[in-house]
């Protein structure tokens, strides 16, 4: 157990302590106890910044399955670990002021949050895929708990369930991918898999594994069409939205794609899928964000769209890993953009969520139709919002501008790709990207100007707005200043964090020079100018063309599809179940007998087992024929017996004939027993018959049913056939000779049957006695014990 | 014998598929008769005399199937007796012996 493992596990350990702290120190906000841990972890991870080589520490967990808890820290892991702990600290600080000490159950909140933080650290620091999967599901699970934090609200429960279903679906698919990879490579360790990969890329399971992994990554990172859970997850408390649904959990899919790029990216499908789905998500998210009226919904769709942007950059960047003579460093620049934007997005989106939380907290609403003119009341919040949104829109002084420029550059490079038929369809990428940026600009402007400028509407607000307490502002201020710092001095990041991360994604493709290169009149700059101009134009004319959104029918959304398919699955399974489970014992017997017939008959047919061998059949005497006739006649006439009395008597006669058979076939003990028992059984039957209820006692014949007849003939025929062929296929002699020889010598008895029953195989007899006693006791209790519920029916 | 057993099984199945509880139990009775005869038949019929050593015969019938059947008879008797009393009790309590009417109601199952 190394310090690194301890760092991963420490949030879990603290989570155990949180309820105790909560109960013992009711006066102090529990968040203060939580806060030191992420700060400590953050500074611990900062100490890795200078590392050159990845550090690997291993703890055996299930060694014989090849599953060890391997913690590996390289550039990419470190970047994510810093994001998780850094933003984690800020979010905990923010939540201390956001959540009330008296009204909320703080212990559960911080337990869930710490679980999530530990799970996220586990995801990004694990080198073993199974361990990674374990932590992955842990994030789904803790996110489910956090979304449903206000569990008394129906929408929270709906959102939590939806995100659970979708992300767990993706998680399971990823598990499938992991297992497929294991089948191909024989290892669960990512670093080992990477070394084997070139030799397996032609394997038939390679593409299925790739698809499984991508479904996992796309569901987690809310990519099209799995993005629908994210807007509904906004029912969570705002610190949770800021942390999980903007900065960390939704980037787990990004992390997975980046991590698995060296494994899969040589495949053209990967490039198309990651790039294509990313760009579709980018457009769809930004397009839909414009029509939202809830601030958090705008931010949710904006998150979806920004994640799509990072994803598409990772897809394009994967071209650098293609080995056939293309200029690699150009596409490596796309990866640089992705990583850079990843950091930027975490900073500005985190601060924006916190700003929205402040607005909600101070006014009581998040609806932009009710808000307006808050600029004068909340100047600091307004400034923070301006910084965040302008960075999101990609305006020059902030870090969003740089990543957007690099994004356009990456997309323009697609035009030059001449592999995987990009030369024909590649043009779509920059065009869609540009359109999406226009929408991004638009909703960013809506977000800030509809909230803070315009007419102040005090009558619509629940509270009198005023500036937030300073504690609540600290975290967004830190994030916003990072936005500016990274915007003005991007190079402080480049060599310390981004370059190692890129080295981890693409071993050996160092691209550090490109980051410092950030001036010059490039086509990207003009594209940005175009975005701003079009965006402003569209924002001014917004009321005129807003109705475009009404053109899209509300029925055709993906949410409807999701809800509909859930309902459909439920109703179908209900129909199916109530269809075949109708409660009638006859139907179930029909199923059972039919399966009996079908399976046995087909087995006999397939194996060609039927064989009739008459050589060892003994001669048939006159008495046997007579008795056989008697038994056949009796049993068949039971079927036609009109009254129940007849059938009971006929059953008795069958029983007596059977005992006659026993006499004939030299089995005296059997004959005796059979005689006695048949007598008692018939007496019992008569008892039952006598007590039949009067009202339904219409004596009628069994109603004829063809299916019943067919099934029973089938059963009879099958049994006959099996009996015949079993008899004809005898393989070896009986062991009876031993009993014949030793009954007297060893057991001192002459009746072989009885000696077998009590001596050689006395154990069976013991339990047969037990059966009888249980039956007797059961009968006794049934008659004697009458439950209170049963009494009522009798009175009717 | 195999044909006799087949017919016993056939009638038993037909009875068990019927609606009256009593007939179903009659069916199980027939089924156990069939099964017992099947065991006996599979052991081989008529190869020697009664399995009693006093007979001083050169060949005896196989004693093992007989022991097995004896066990089976007793067990099936126990079960049948239990079933019959169960049926008797359900007549008393529920007032019907029609299997189609003996169903769990909605929300009661």
Q: Per the domain annotation, does A422 fall within a domain?
A: yes
Looking at the fold, whether A666 and A776 belong to one and the same domain comes out as no
Does A496 share its domain with A420? yes
Q: Respond yes or no on whether ipTM tops 0.85.
A: yes
Helix, strand, or coil (residue A125): helix
Residue A690 located in a structural domain: yes
Q: Do A685 and B8 touch (CB under 8 A)?
A: no
Q: Give Cα separations from A251 to A237, A291, A309 (angstroms).
A: 19, 25, 12
On whether both A502 and A417 belong to a single domain, the answer is yes
Let me know if residue A607 belongs to a domain. yes
Nearest-Cα residue of chain A relative to residue B19: A586
* pLDDT number for residue A614: 64
Contact check, Cβ <8 Å, A752/B51: yes
Question: Does one domain contain both A651 and A769?
Answer: no
- Of the candidates A557, A639, A614, A637, the one whose C-alpha atom is nearest the C-alpha of residue A730 is A614
- Taking only residues 775 to 794 of chain A, the set having a beta carbon closer than 8 angstroms to any beta carbon of chain B reads 775-776, 778-779, 782-783, 790, 793-794
Q: Does A629 contact chain B (CB < 8 Å)?
A: no
- pLDDT of B102: 64
Q: What is the pLDDT at residue A260?
A: 86
Task: Look at B74 and A648 and tell me if their CB atoms are within 8 Å.
Answer: no
d(CA A64, CA A82): 33
Contacts of B109 in chain A (CB under 8 A): 583
pLDDT score for A499:
75
pLDDT of res. A676: 92
A496: in domain: yes
Do residues A442 and A510 both lie within one domain?
yes
Shared domain check, A767 and A796: yes
Using CB atoms and an 8 Å cut-off, which of residues 689-708 of chain A contact chain B?
Answer: 689, 691-693, 695-696, 702-703, 705, 708
Helices and strands, number each (H, E), in chain B: 3, 0
- Residue of chain A with shortest Cα separation from B85: A779
The answer to whether position A153 is within a domain reads no
Residue A79 falls within a domain, yes or no? no
B53-66 pLDDT per residue, tens = 776 777 778 888 88
Instruction: Choose the final residue of a domain: A699, A719, A754.
Output: A699
pLDDT at B109 over 50: no
Residues of the domain holding A710: 585-611+705-731
CA-to-CA distance for A692 and A714, rounded, in angstroms? Answer: 32
Contact yes or no for A347/A490 (Cβ under 8 A): no
Q: Do A783 and B5 touch (CB under 8 A)?
A: no
What does the pLDDT read at residue B108?
41
Closest-CA residue to A175 (of A143, A135, A133): A133
CB atoms under 10 Å from CB of A540, counted, come to 10
End-to-end CA distance of chain A: 73
pLDDT value for A520? 67
B-facing residues of A in 127-166 (CB < 8 A) are: none
Residue numbers in A near B107 (CB within 8 A) = none
CA angle A386, A294, A552 (to 5 degrees): 115
- Asked if A669's CB is within 8 angstroms of B9's CB, the reply is no
In a domain, A594, yes or no: yes
Distance from CA of B47 to the nearest CA of A (A): 8
> How many independent structural domains does chain A possess?
4
Q: State the Cα–Cα distance between residues A276 and A312, nearest whole angstrom.
A: 7
Amino acid A22: pLDDT:
86
CB contact (8 A) between residue B63 and residue A723: no
Residues of chain A with pLDDT under 50: 695-696, 789-796
Q: Please answer yes or no on whether A685 and B84 come within 8 Å at the CB atom.
A: yes
- Residue of A584, A615, A674, A716 to mutate, testing the B interface (most B Cβ within 10 Å of its Cβ): A716
Do residue B46 and residue A665 have CB atoms under 8 angstroms apart?
Answer: yes
One domain for residues A627 and A520:
no
List the single residue in B9, B70, B85 with the smallest CB-CB distance to A753.
B70
Do A766 and A630 lie in one domain? The reply is: no
Question: What is the model's pLDDT at position A132?
Answer: 92
Residues A716 and A748 in one domain: no
* Residues of chain B neighbouring A774 (CB-CB closer than 8 A): 78
What's the confidence (pLDDT) of residue A743?
Answer: 83
Do A684 and A785 belong together in one domain?
Answer: no
**What Cα–Cα distance (Å) separates residue A237 from each residue in A146, A358, A583, A597?**
8, 12, 47, 60
Q: Domain check: are A393 and A527 in the same one?
A: yes
pLDDT of residue A742: 83
The answer to whether A658 and A634 are in contact (CB under 8 A) is no
Last residue of a domain, one of A651, A677, A699: A699
**B3 to A688: CB separation less than 8 angstroms, yes or no:** no
Residues of B with Cβ-Cβ distance to A616 under 8 angstroms: 44
Domain end, chosen from A731, A749, A782, is at A731
- CB within 8 A of A236, min separation 6: which ones? A146, A147, A149, A156, A159, A244, A245
Looking at the structure, tell me whether residues A540 and A638 fall in a common domain: no
Is the CB of B3 less than 8 angstroms away from the CB of A720?
Answer: yes
B60 three-state secondary structure = strand
- For A521, residues 6+ apart whose C-beta sits below 8 A from its C-beta are none
In this prediction, residue A773 carries a pLDDT of 93
Q: Out of B14, B42, B48, whose CB is closest to A709?
A: B14
Residue A410: inside a domain, yes or no?
Answer: yes
Predicted local confidence at residue A700, as pLDDT: 54
User: Taking CB atoms and an 8 Å cut-off, how many pairs form between chains A and B?
Assistant: 273
Q: Is the pLDDT of residue B106 over 50?
A: no
Q: Which residues contact A497 (CB under 8 A, 6 or more apart)?
A: A49, A75, A78, A79, A82, A343
- Give the minimum alpha-carbon distance from B59 to chain A in angstroms, rounded to a whole number: 9
How many CA atoms lie within 13 Å of A353's alpha carbon, on the beta-carbon side?
31
């Amino acid at each position: 157990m190394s310090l690194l493992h301890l760092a991963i596990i420490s949030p879990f350990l603290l989570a155990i302590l949180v309820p105790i702290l909560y109960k013992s120190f009711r006066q102090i906000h529990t968040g203060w106890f939580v806060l030191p841990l992420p700060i400590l972890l953050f500074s611990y991870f900062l100490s890795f910044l200078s590392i050159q080589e990845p550090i690997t520490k291993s703890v055996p967990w299930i060694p014989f399955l090849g599953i060890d808890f391997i913690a590996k820290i390289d550039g990419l892991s470190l970047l994510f670990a810093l994001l998780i702990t850094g933003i984690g600290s800020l979010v905990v600080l923010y939540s201390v002021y956001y959540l009330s000490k008296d009204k909320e159950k703080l212990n559960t909140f911080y337990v869930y949050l710490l679980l999530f933080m530990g799970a996220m650290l586990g995801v990004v620091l694990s080198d073993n895929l199974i361990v990674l999967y374990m932590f992955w599901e842990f994030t789904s699970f803790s996110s489910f708990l956090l979304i449903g934090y206000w569990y008394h609200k129906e929408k929270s429960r709906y959102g939590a369930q939806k995100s659970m279903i979708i992300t767990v679906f993706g998680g399971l698919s990823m598990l499938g991918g992991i297992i497929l990879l294991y089948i191909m490579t024989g290892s669960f360790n990512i670093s080992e898999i990477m070394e084997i990969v070139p030799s397996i890329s032609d394997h038939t399971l390679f593409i299925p594994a790739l698809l499984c992994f991508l479904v996992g990554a796309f569901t987690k990172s809310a990519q099209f069409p799995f993005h629908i859970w994210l807007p509904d997850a906004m029912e969570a408390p705002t610190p949770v939205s800021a942390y999980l649904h903007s900065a960390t959990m939704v980037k787990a899919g990004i992390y997975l794609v980046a991590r698995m790029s060296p494994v899969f990216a040589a495949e053209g499908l990967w490039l198309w899928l990651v790039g294509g789905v990313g760009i579709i998500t980018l457009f769809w998210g930004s397009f839909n964000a414009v029509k939202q009226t809830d601030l958090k919904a705008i931010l949710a769709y904006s998150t979806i769209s920004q994640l799509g942007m990072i994803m598409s950059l990772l897809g394009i960047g994967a071209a650098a890993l293609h080995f056939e003579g293309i200029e690699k460093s150009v596409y490596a620049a796309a990866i640089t953009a992705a990583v850079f934007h990843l950091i930027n997005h975490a900073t500005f989106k985190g601060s924006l969520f916190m700003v929205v939380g402040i607005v909600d907290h101070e006014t009581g609403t998040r609806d932009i139709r009710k808000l307006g003119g808050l600029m004068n009341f909340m100047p600091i919040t307004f400034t923070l919002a301006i910084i965040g949104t302008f960075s999101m829109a990609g305006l020059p002084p902030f870090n969003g501008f740089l990543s957007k420029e690099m994004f356009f550059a990456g997309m323009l490079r697609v035009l030059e790709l001449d592999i995987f038929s990009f030369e024909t369809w590649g043009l779509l990428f920059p065009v869609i990207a540009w359109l999406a940026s226009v929408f991004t600009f638009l909703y960013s402007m809506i977000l800030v100007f509809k909230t803070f400028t315009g007419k102040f509407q005090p009558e619509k607000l629940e509270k009198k707005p005023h500036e937030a307490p300073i504690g609540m502002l600290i975290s967004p201020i830190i994030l916003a200043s990072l936005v500016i710092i990274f915007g003005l001095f991007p190079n402080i990041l480049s060599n310390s964090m981004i370059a190692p991360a890129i080295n981890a994604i693409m071993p050996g493709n160092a691209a550090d020079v490109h980051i410092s290169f950030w001036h010059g009149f490039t086509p990207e700059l003009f594209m940005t100018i175009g975005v701003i101009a079009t965006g402003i134009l569209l924002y001014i004319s917004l009321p005129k063309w807003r109705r475009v959104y009404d053109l899209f029918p509300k029925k055709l959304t993906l949410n409807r599809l999701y809800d509909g398919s859930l309902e459909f699955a439920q109703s179908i399974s209900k129909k199916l179940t109530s269809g075949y489970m109708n409660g009638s014992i006859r139907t179930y017997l029909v199923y059972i007998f039919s399966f009996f017939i079908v399976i046995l008959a087909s087995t006999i047919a397939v194996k060609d087992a039927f064989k009739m061998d008459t050589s060892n059949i003994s001669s048939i005497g006159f008495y046997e024929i007579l008795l056989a006739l008697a038994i056949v006649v009796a049993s068949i006439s039971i079927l036609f017996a009109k009254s129940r009395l007849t059938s009971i008597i006929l059953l008795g006669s069958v029983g007596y004939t059977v005992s006659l058979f026993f006499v004939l076939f030299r089995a005296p003990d059997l004959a005796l027993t059979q005689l006695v028992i048949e007598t008692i059984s018939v007496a019992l039957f008569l008892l039952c018959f006598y007590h039949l209820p009067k009202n339904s006692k219409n004596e009628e014949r069994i109603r004829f049913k063809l299916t019943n007849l067919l099934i029973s003939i089938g059963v009879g025929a099958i049994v006959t056939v099996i009996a015949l062929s079993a008899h004809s296929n005898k393989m070896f002699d009986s062991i009876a000779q031993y009993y014949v020889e030793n009954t007297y010598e060893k057991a001192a008895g002459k009746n072989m049957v009885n000696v077998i029953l009590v001596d050689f195989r006395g154990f069976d007899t013991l339990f047969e006695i037990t059966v009888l006693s249980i039956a007797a006791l059961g009968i006794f209790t049934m008659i004697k014990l009458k439950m209170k519920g049963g009494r009522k029916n009798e009175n009717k | 014998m195999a044909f006799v057993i087949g017919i016993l099984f056939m009638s038993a199945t037909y009875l068990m598929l019927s609606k009256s509880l009593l007939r179903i139990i009659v069916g199980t009775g027939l089924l156990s008769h069939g099964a017992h005869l099947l065991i006996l038949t599979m052991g081989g019929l008529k190869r020697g005399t009664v399995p009693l050593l006093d007979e001083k015969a050169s060949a005896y019938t196989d004693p093992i199937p007989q022991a097995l059947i004896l066990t089976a008879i007793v067990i099936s008797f126990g079960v049948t007796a239990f079933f019959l009393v169960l049926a008797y009790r359900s007549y008393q309590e529920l007032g019907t012996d029609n299997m189609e009417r003996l169903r769990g109601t909605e929300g009661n199952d």
